[in-house]
Structure 1
Amino acid sequence: MSADPTNIRLTRRAIIGGLAGAALTGCDAFQQSDVGRAILFSGETANKALQRTIMDRNALAREFDESDMSPIFRSNGTRDPDTPSYNAMAANGFADWTLPITGLVERPMVLSLDQIRAMPARTQITRHDCVEGWSAIGKWHGPQLSLLLQAVGLKTNARYAVFRCADLYNGIPYYESIDLIDAFHPQTILAWAMNDGLLPIPHGAPLRLRVERQLGYKHAKYVEGIEIVDSLAPINGGQGGYWEDRGAYEWYAGI
């Protein structure tokens, strides 16, 4: 998990939405149409729709040179799940760790860490923007999520990827989710390496999500399962993530 709100609300989302709305204020026909007004005044759906209207949905997040990498990359949220099962796997170098991919798929799979590390991988140096107000640039390495989703085959009603994680908050397993647009983005990867070394435990070992077009709290750490679903409503509080269920952050965190 990437952020612990401690009474911080996600104001950056409102700012982005406001800027996007301002960019459209010169278009009277858009504002006066029923569709335009519905988009402009429908909260999070408006922000999401506006971003995807004025931005290329496949646009890449900026990538940096090695000389730009931050000397210190903070870890926040959970720094160690410290559960009996996680500790046992960590002590064994995660040799027994597996990643099940289930739900609305044609070919459910259970992959070992060795199998994931053997997959074609992408290396990217990107900036991590935390909702708490700090940023850091780091190098990430791992297979594109799209490769795994193509391998299992998605059913026609699939809409979201839900990430089940090993860390607990108040005894509740952490989870996050993204839609398939972000899941198939070329910079959305399952990172098993960071800064030319194996992913450290404070940063989500053995596997974490990197979804570079979204804020840091969407980058689920300690991923131990992926479920493909058609709706987020039946899952826990129905808002698509642990903090979203508690009203701390919005589900869509695109930047």
Structure 2
Amino acid sequence: MCPRGPVPHKLVGKLSVDTESGAFLGDTRIRLLEAIDRHGSISRAAKAVPLSYKAAWDAVDAMNNLADAPLVERSVGGRQGGGTALTAYGRQMIALYRAVEQEYQGAIDRLVERLGDADPGSVRQFQTLLRRMSMRTSARNQFVGTVVELRAGDVDVEVALRLDDANLLRARITRASVENLALTVGKSVHAFVKAPSVDIVTDGLRPATADNLWWGEVGAIHHGAVSAEVTLVLPGGRSVTALVSDARVAALGLAVGGRAGAVCSANAVILAVFD
């Protein structure tokens, strides 16, 4: 048996379309969108990628939250059990991504040709550097909004972000943070909210006061051992996910397709900018 020679290293471009709050579109998400378009089902699309059913829905929710318009529409309930479909905007994003991806890889190939026989170690180091430069966050809810109001208090400032025509998000941060982020009305900001910081309410159990209260339709309920992830689809296509106890899900009578509200304190919102 002949010994194998060294495996050549090819610099392959993996295109990622980013927003101010992180990765928006990448190869896996594009393949998920393409599979949704083919199958019309999130479960079948997830198997085709492959992804877990929950990971697929998480990706769809993230894309819809970060996009200017929803990429995927979902229908819940009914005799067929609901389904998913790409919007015209979603198909446009796929076409643009694939076109740019082809040009991107072509540019990398031309660059490698000009560099000649590069040291394989240098190529690996460069690939490692690119991976380290990418950022991910554990916050389940990620939004991009425009500052529409800065209301200063004695020691803190309430920042109001316009997410879309139907939804505002309010955050409370220190004056020093406002100065550090250089926040002004009209500035684009991204916001992070962890799922355990979000509670779910219904019409019969509204809080007396709430910094943030978003009403929507229950899009998904993922049960765990003692808790559940509840995702609400908001007007405009964005979503918000809460981590609540199974007992609360039962007490509220939550079901996919039902109306519910998501409550979040302004103190639980983390703001960031990438300038």
Higher strand fraction (1 or 2): 2
Instruction: State TM-score, norm by structure 2.
Output: 0.25
Greater helix percent: which structure?
Answer: 2
**Is the radius of gyration larger for structure 1 or structure 2?**
2
Higher relative contact order (CA 8 A, sep 6+): 1
